[in-house]
């Protein structure tokens, strides 16, 4: 069964850090482009970060550049999103998604995602 499961969300004060995990089962993540998305209350979903299957290139939306890092651990079939210097505006449900023909483009535009996780909540608050 194909599945993506996010974990690592929680409550963190401003300036804190979290590492989100996206664990895959039923397929090999290394062959897929992976995107992290988020949706804050009352807002549309937005692309946060993306890692390409073709060459490992990474992309970040402007608001998280220099603070967030996406990475893969192929041995664990898992993709991570390290989030540092968190701000209250980072509060959202974070989703990972995978696409065999997925495309990462600048500006948080990530296309072709086939599989989606159910999300993990990140709350940044004092």
Beta strand spans in 9-111 (E):
10-12, 18-25, 33-39, 46-51, 58-60, 68-73, 78-83, 92-99, 103-105, 109-111
Q: Which pLDDT band holds residue 118 (cuts at 50, 70, 90)?
A: very high
Share of the chain above pLDDT 70, in %: 100
CB atoms within 10 A of CB 3: 12
Span 55-101, pLDDT tens digits: 899 999 999 999 999 999 999 999 999 999 999 999 999 999 999 99
Residue 46 has pLDDT above 90, yes or no: yes
**Structure-block tokens of residue 22:** 């996206």
DSSP state of 31: G
Residue 108 has pLDDT above 90, yes or no: no
């Amino acid at each position: 069964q194909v599945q993506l499961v996010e974990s690592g969300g929680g409550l963190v004060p401003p300036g804190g850090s979290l590492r989100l995990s996206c664990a895959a089962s039923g397929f090999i993540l290394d062959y897929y482009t992976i995107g992290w998305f988020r949706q804050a209350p009352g807002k549309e979903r937005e692309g946060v970060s993306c890692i390409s299957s073709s060459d490992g290139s990474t992309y970040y939306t402007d608001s998280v550049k220099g603070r967030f890092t996406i990475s893969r651990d192929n041995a664990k079939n898992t993709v991570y999103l390290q989030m540092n210097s968190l701000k209250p505006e980072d509060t959202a449900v974070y989703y990972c998604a995978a696409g065999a023909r997925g495309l990462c483009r600048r500006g948080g535009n990530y296309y072709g995602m086939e599989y989606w996780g159910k999300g993990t909540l990140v709350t940044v608050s004092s």
